Amino acid sequence: MYLEQDNEMTAMDSRTGLKREYTMTYIAEILSDDVIWLINENRRLISIHQNMDEATYYCRKHFQVAPKVIDRRVI
């Protein structure tokens, strides 16, 4: 009985983890004309790029999403 409940909870946790992975937001932070940080929503650095096209391509290739852009040059 308890083993079946544990298996069900584990299965639900793994599905929740997969769902969370698909909803992760990736951010392209433009720091200057030639420095763009690609980070995730937890502020973890994924990669550094020299232009926005490169950052967008990398994000779509590896995560199948377009990054949200934050331009720090105007702030």
pLDDT value of position 23: 74
Structure tokens at 18: 């997969």
pLDDT value, residue 21: 54
Total-model pTM:
0.66
Distance from C-alpha of 63 to C-alpha of 44, rounded to nearest angstrom: 15
Sheet holding 26-32, edge to edge: 45-49, 35-40, 26-32, 68-71
Which ranges constitute the DSSP H helices of the chain? 2-22, 52-63
Q: What is the pLDDT along the chain (75 residues), one digit of tens a residue?
A: 555 555 555 555 555 555 555 679 999 999 999 999 999 999 999 999 999 999 999 999 999 999 999 999 975
Is residue 55 within 8 Å of residue 71, measured between CB atoms?
A: no
